[in-house]
Homo-oligomer: A and B are copies of this chain.
Amino acid sequence: MARETMTAASPTAQSKSQRAYRWIKERIVGHEFSPGYRLVLGTLAGELDMSVVPVREAIRQLEAEGLVTFERNVGARVSMVDDSAYRYSMAALGILEATATALSARHLTAGDIRRARSVNDRMIETLDHFDPRSFTALNQEFHSILSSRCANPRVLELVGAEWGRLGHLRDSTFSFVPGRAQESVREHEQILALIEQGAPLGEIEHAARRHRSATLDAYLAHEHPDEAFDPAGI
């Protein structure tokens, strides 16, 4: 018989730990809990209407993911992603995503390309009434489509994890350097062209990498005008 007949609603749906995990993560990426925010077990448990045990577990998971830092006998707080950590993570993401894009290129369908281009078109449209937030969202969607067919799922996983890590502060880049947005969409078109014409994978990867690191460089140039920083200058 149906093993979950009467539980269709939610009772068995998921464990409390998982609910806590999602709930907290939601708040973190939604900036409701900003970096440095103190995550008190008892309080969270109270709000979620459960005991502290599942909350502890959830926080441990978030810690493993890097969203939360933990200190014994002191407690957890939302990770302070200091500037350098942000850069490094961004650079790593760029490398991984470029590789994923290259590994994906040969498997992209015409439909994929079309969708990617349409996303990029929407990005171009929004350039007038520029909104960093939605622009970044579209940007992520664009790259996500390009790497979606990556032949190596592990690489995709790593890309996803890194996106998650940066999630709660990534809208910053484009808001700081609006001018970068225009170059960005142009480079997107170039990458699409390379993929369509079946360029060597090395070339595609290189282009994607340059694209990424250019965005990062723009951010850095704005934040630290005097500092030379070449995280993936290869």
Chain A interface residue count: which class? 20 to 34
12 contacts between A and B (CB under 8 A): A56-B57, A57-B60, A60-B60, A88-B153, A92-B154, A92-B155, A92-B158, A99-B232, A103-B231, A152-B232, A201-B234, A202-B234
CB pair B95 A155 closer than 8 Å? yes
Instruction: Kindly provide the distance from the CB of A57 to the nearest chain B CB, expressed in whole angstroms.
Output: 6
- Distance, CA A151 to CA B232, complexed state (A): 9
A residues 192-223 near B (Cβ < 8 Å) are: 201-202, 205
Within the complex, which residue of B61, B95, B202 is in contact with A99, where a contact is CB–CB below 8 Å?
Answer: B95
CB pair A233 B92 closer than 8 Å? no
- A72 on the B face (CB < 8 A): yes
Q: Is the interface of A mostly helix, strand, loop or mixed?
A: helix
Number of copies: 2
- A181 on the B face (CB < 8 A): no
Contact partners of A88 in chain B: CB under 8 A:
152-155
CB pair A154 B85 closer than 8 Å? yes
